[in-house]
Amino acid sequence: MSSTYRGKNLTLTVFGQSHSSAIGAVLDGVPAGFHPDMDKLQSFMKRRAPGQNKMSTQRREADVPEILSGLAGGATCGAPLAFMIRNTDQRSNDYAEICDAPRPGHADFTAHVKYGGHNDVAGGGHFSGRLTAPICAAGGVLLQYLRDHGVTVAAHIENIGKAADVRFDAANVTGDELDALLRKDFPVIDDSAADRMAEEIEKARLAADSVGGVIECAVCGLPAGLGDPMFDGIENRLAQALFAIPAVKGVEFGAGFAVADMLGSENNDPFFMDGDTVRTKTNNHGGILGGITSGMPLIFRIALKPTPSIGKEQDTVSLSNTENTRLTVKGRHDPCVVVRAVPVVEAVAALVLADLMIG
């Protein structure tokens, strides 16, 4: 494993398995003297917590992180922040079968090969979406830090299956609009999209199936000049970190894959003076040119595959008998992880961006 993200100033180390006695994270490099607001952190983490509604897994966990260290008198003291969440609701028996028959779409098979059969299969082990909880604990603190420095990060569901929200107005989205988005129960810009998305999810659930989606994230308030090309530019770093979220299969910035079908004269964003500030009229570049922030809103999108755990019977193999077999995945599963992934995307973006805002 390599579960440490090393930025320029921040280092995040994630530990735990779905069914280990605890999961957690260590975040090193937060400037001393910062007071995390624990209530806000709790609210933030609740956005990804399971068991909130019929759209997500029925597993219910408090997911209240204990901060083991890193604070003195309620403020960061320079020492690493350590977060721990106890695993209290475990049903390992559900996973007995999959030790031998890897679930299609999961890491069971590849982990089996890499770890010589010693990988922790229960609940997906270290590959479980549950590991995004400590990422949210750390990222939630960093989102507060960014907010204190004038930077707002907010994501919405661009689509779930066929049900689509509108996109951000990339050149004009404001921090206030992002704030409004963050206050919503269901993270879409066009509220009418929420019902259509719920329908898509329900349809998949009833079919013992699952459905994927796209999350779009915007960041307002970043100064121009952040990023270290060629290998540590904003896109390099964000992409590296975002692929740590389970189920992500694509990342794009600004106009993204649509640039392939554009002319230079369409794609180039003309500069203009907005008072004393250099801005661009359009924002196909997504706030990043040459790997460096331009001061325009940073815009990116990630594609999330449908939850691989589905109720339908599937073809797979028996690793011990090296023969074909069939498998029905038991246990509780989200028909769609996209909703709960929205705060995770914000958390990961905060990790990468706060790292560059510090110092």
* Tokens, residue 45: 């983490």
Instruction: Closer to its own copies by CB, 191 or 266: give it.
Output: 266
Alpha-helical (H) ranges within 47-150 are: 108-114, 132-148
- Determine if 202 is a binding residue for its own copies (CB under 8 A): no
139 sits near its own copies (criterion: CB under 8 A): no
What's the half-sphere exposure (Cβ side, CA atoms, 13 Å) at 160?
30
- Does residue 254 interact with its own copies by CB under 8 A? yes
How many Å apart are CA 152 and CA 140, to the nearest integer?
A: 12
Residue position matching structure tokens 């910062």: 34
206 binds its own copies (CB under 8 A): no
Given 96, 249, 320, 328, the residue binding its own copies (CB under 8 A): 249
Residues 20-59 that bind its own copies (CB under 8 A): 20-24, 26, 28-29, 32-33
243 forms part of the interface with its own copies (CB under 8 A): yes
Q: Residue 219 Cβ, how far from its own copies at the closest point, in Å?
A: 15
Chosen residue from 162, 179, 191, 192 binding its own copies by CB under 8 A: 162
Contacts with 214 (C-beta within 8 Å, 6 or more apart), sequence order: 157, 158, 159, 301, 302, 303, 304, 338
- CA quadruple 308, 314, 315, 318: dihedral positive or negative? positive
Contact with its own copies (CB under 8 A): which of 133, 216, 293, 298?
A: 293
Nearer to its own copies, 176 or 312 (CB): 312
Q: Tell which one of 48, 59, 285, 340 touches its own copies (CB under 8 A).
A: 285
Q: Which is nearer to its own copies, 59 or 205 (CB)?
A: 205
Report CA-CA distances (Å) from 163 to 190, 200, 218, 333, 350. Answer: 11, 7, 20, 21, 27
* DSSP bridge pairs for 20: none
First to last CA, the chain: 29
Nearer to its own copies, 9 or 42 (CB): 9
Shortest CB 36 distance to its own copies, Å: 13
- Least Å distance between CB 220 and its own copies? 17
Residue 213 within binding range of its own copies, rule CB under 8 A? yes
* Contact in structure between 281 and 269 (CB atoms under 8 Å): yes
Among 269, 343, 346, 354, the residue binding its own copies under the rule CB under 8 A is 269
Q: Which stretch binds its own copies (CB under 8 A): 167-175, 176-184, 188-196, 267-275?
A: 267-275
Kindly tell me which of 138 and 177 has the beta carbon lying closer to its own copies: 138
Q: Which residues between 79 and 138 bind its own copies (CB under 8 A)?
A: 79-82, 84, 102, 104-107, 109-111, 113-122, 125-127, 131
Q: How far is the CB of 5 from its own copies (least distance, A)?
A: 5
Give me the residue label for tokens 């719920």: 198
Nearer to its own copies among residue 179 and residue 277 (C-beta): 277
The 3-class SS string of 143-203 reads HHHHHHCCCEEEEEEEEECCEECCCCCCCCCCHHHHHHHHCCCCCCCCCHHHHHHHHHHHH
**What is the C-alpha separation between 157 and 216, in angstroms, rounded?**
6
Nearer to its own copies, 54 or 249 (CB): 249
CB of 12 to its own copies, least distance (A): 8
Give the pair of three-digit tokens for residue 19: 């069914």
Out of 36, 50, 227, 343, point to the residue binding its own copies (CB under 8 A).
Answer: 227
Position 260 contacts its own copies (CB under 8 A): yes
With 0-12 / 13-18 / 19 or more C-beta atoms within 10 angstroms meaning exposed / middle / buried, residue 39 is: exposed
- Region 299-318 residues binding its own copies, contact defined as CB under 8 A: 303-310, 312, 314-317
Total binding residues toward its own copies, as defined by CB under 8 A = 153
